[in-house]
Amino acid sequence: MVRVTITQVAAHAGVSVASASRALNGRVASAKTVAKVQHAAQELGYVADAAAQSLKRGRTNQLAYAVADIGNPVHVEMMTEIERVVSASGYRLVMSSMGTSSSSVDVVRELGRGYVDGMILSPQRVTDELLEVLAKTPVPVVVLGRLPAGAGLDTVPADSFTAMHLVVEHLVAEGRADIAFVNGPADTTPGAFGHDGFAAAAAAAHPALTVRSLEAENFTITAGYAAARRVLHEDRRPDAIVAANDLIGIGALRAAEDLGLAIPEDLTVTGVDNTELADVIRPGLTSVDLGARERGRLAAELLLARITEPERAVHTAAVPPALVVRGSSRAHTSNPAHAFDHNNGRAG
């Protein structure tokens, strides 16, 4: 229970602390010294103090994945992939949630104080204050999401425009004419880009399309349920609901069900993220895969590259979205919805 220091190990082994340090870290040392020191360390249960080591070395060997919307399962996918990549380079990964008990700004500032050597961020809202903190954070940062041009940070944005194009084209192809876009809060980054993407896609696809937008209170199932219920009660009921993410989409599915609507006959519902949830819900939720795993991998690689070479040019990595059609819309393409798709809608 009590901490043992390298000084005690050195004393126990009968060598200097310098020799102990060298022996422990695999630097030059005689075989005899190494044996003695390792034996002493083992016996005493020595583990190097992280704070002292970090202070001296100037790095922690730790990276952080900071995520605002921790309830969204897509972040687990990303985290798993990020961890795979960074642990191969000898880093440990910790996950921090932003926004529940502390603001993104606080979390970034805290982590930047020297807890980690770098971080990957999935922010909900990109405020000027956040950008400012990001700019002066002493450790490398990669943002999973879109940033204002000129932010000077490595980013792996989601391609909302293409995503929304895919969805709208799909809906038009199956004959939908009155589409409701159920967004998350518009003042969030995914919210804003989702909206713009949807508006552009709708205008491009078919100028005569009837569209409306509304906001769910947040990106959750419950909020999606409430928002969908509202729009489905309007005089002119839409024949398609485009949800800003899968959770909202699932809420919409439940709302439609409660109102006795047949899906996809009366109403099509689509989501975004292509999470396992979309695959497991009934009817299956047609969803755009934004490439979570791939984007997680890219973010991790960008971060590692910047740690290695801090002055390299700013990079932006793009991943093409892909529509995965399931039972919540009509399967009129060559992409069939499987009864239970173990590959989560992606080719194995």
Partner DNA sequence: GTGAAAGCGCTAACAA
Partner DNA sequence: TTGTTAGCGCTTTCAC
Binding residues vs a copy of itself (CB under 8 A): 1-3, 45, 47-52, 54-55, 60, 62, 64, 70-71, 73, 76, 79-80, 83-84, 87-88, 92-97, 100-102, 109-110, 112-115, 136-138, 221-222, 225, 250, 254-255, 257-258, 276-277, 280-282, 310, 339-340, 342
Which 50-69 positions form the footprint of DNA (CB under 7 A)? 52-53, 55-58
Q: For 216, which DSSP code? A: -
Which residue type, as a one-letter code, is found at position 24? L
Nearest in space to 220 (alpha carbons), one of 199, 188, 178, 251:
251
Residue 43 near DNA by CB under 7 A? no
Least distance in Å: CB of 47 to DNA? 7
- What's the rounded Cα separation, in Å, for the pair 19 and 12? 12
Least distance in Å: CB of 173 to a copy of itself? 27
Residue 5: which of DNA, a copy of itself, none does it interact with, CB under 5 to 8 A by kind?
Answer: DNA
For DNA, the closer CB: 3 or 236: 3
For a copy of itself, the closer CB: 118 or 197: 118
For DNA, the closer CB: 49 or 309: 49
122 CB neighbour count, 10 Å cutoff = 26
Residue 43: which of a copy of itself, DNA, none does it interact with, CB under 5 to 8 A by kind?
Answer: none
- For the record, the structure tokens of 83 come out as 């961890």
- What's the rounded Cα separation, in Å, for the pair 280 and 268? 17
- Binding span for DNA by CB under 7 A among 18-26, 79-87, 310-318, 327-335: 18-26
CA dihedral 7, 8, 12, 14 (to 10 degrees): 10
Number of H helices, E strands in the chain: 13, 11
For a copy of itself, the closer CB: 11 or 48: 48
Which residue type, as a one-letter code, is found at position 225? Y
- What's the rounded Cα separation, in Å, for the pair 266 and 178? 12
- What's the rounded Cα separation, in Å, for the pair 188 and 323? 23
Residue 310: which of DNA, a copy of itself, none does it interact with, CB under 5 to 8 A by kind?
Answer: a copy of itself
Residue with tokens 């204002």: 148
Residue 27: which of DNA, a copy of itself, none does it interact with, CB under 5 to 8 A by kind?
Answer: DNA
Which residue type, as a one-letter code, is found at position 230? R
Residue 280 near DNA by CB under 7 A? no
For a copy of itself, the closer CB: 112 or 238: 112
- 123 preceded by a cis bond (ω within 30 of 0): no
Reduced to 3 states, what is the DSSP secondary structure of residue 172?
helix
Residue 32 near DNA by CB under 7 A? yes
Residues in contact with DNA by the rule CB under 7 A: 3, 5-7, 15-19, 21-25, 27-30, 32-33, 46, 48-49, 52-53, 55-58
